[in-house]
Amino acid sequence: MEPSTEIAELFAVVDDTLVSAALELFPAYEIEVAHLADEIEVPPSGATHIYAAVIGYAGECVRGALVLMAPMDVIRSWRPDEVDMTEAILDDTIGEFSNMLLGSVKNRLLARGAVLLLATPTIASGINFCLPAPSGGACRWQCFETVKGRFYARVDASFDAGFTFQPEPPATDDVAADGDMMFL
């Protein structure tokens, strides 16, 4: 069942925010990334071992989760300084990137009036992942290409009746960037 036009418009804000946040986050860590906007492939299933991080969020009248999936070689490229990439480090790496990505989405949506609380990432790995769409919500996989291969991100979102985003504020230099340290 297709979401209503109103839900589709709300979801487009969240989905577009995910893409723009990813396109800024990964290059900040010297990871060249391209968004494959027309890629309709969902994360691969079959013989490829995939790592996934799922992190939930909730706010007044909105809730959902962010899913980040990548094969081992792609995750290893996110930590080129790490010589001995153990399972624990792979898990920690994808978990931390999912946390930073959703944190960036949260900060951007805060400017649109959505106050979100984030959960702790849950990590899984294996072959043949199947993540159904959320009941009563919307989701869409986004595909990104790096020199080591593709990774995938998906944001799920459910909205209560009456939820709206505020208009996008004008750009300003007075706002702290993600990761900036601030002293009071």
> Can you read off the two tokens belonging to residue 156?
């799920």
The more confidently predicted of residues 145 and 4 is: 145
Q: Domain 5-159 maps to which CATH number in 3.30.200.20, 3.30.230.10, 3.40.1550.10, 3.30.70.20?
A: 3.40.1550.10
The pTM of this model reads 0.88
Residue of 157 and 83 predicted with greater confidence: 157
| b (16+ CB within 10 A) / e for 64-99 | bbbbbbbbbebbbbbbeeeeeeeeeebbbbbbebbb
pLDDT one-digit tens code per residue, 114-144? 999 999 999 999 887 778 877 778 999 999 9
Q: Evaluate if residue 183 carries a pLDDT over 60.
A: no
Per-domain residue ranges of the chain:
5-159
User: At 87, which amino acid appears?
Assistant: E
Per-residue confidence (pLDDT) for residue 99, from 0 to 100? 96
CB-side neighbour CA atoms (13 Å) of 48: 16
Q: What are the pLDDT digits (tens) for 10-61? A: 999 999 999 999 999 999 999 999 999 887 667 666 667 899 999 999 999 9
Sign of CA dihedral 20, 22, 28, 33: negative
Kindly report each contact of residues 46-52 with a partner whose C-beta sits within 8 Å and lies 24 or more positions away, as own/partner.
46/127, 46/128, 47/127, 48/127, 49/125, 49/126, 49/127, 50/125, 50/126, 50/127, 50/129, 51/75, 51/90, 51/91, 51/94, 51/123, 51/124, 51/125, 52/94, 52/123, 52/124, 52/125, 52/129
Query: What is the crossing angle of helices 5-28 and 87-110, to 10°?
Result: 120
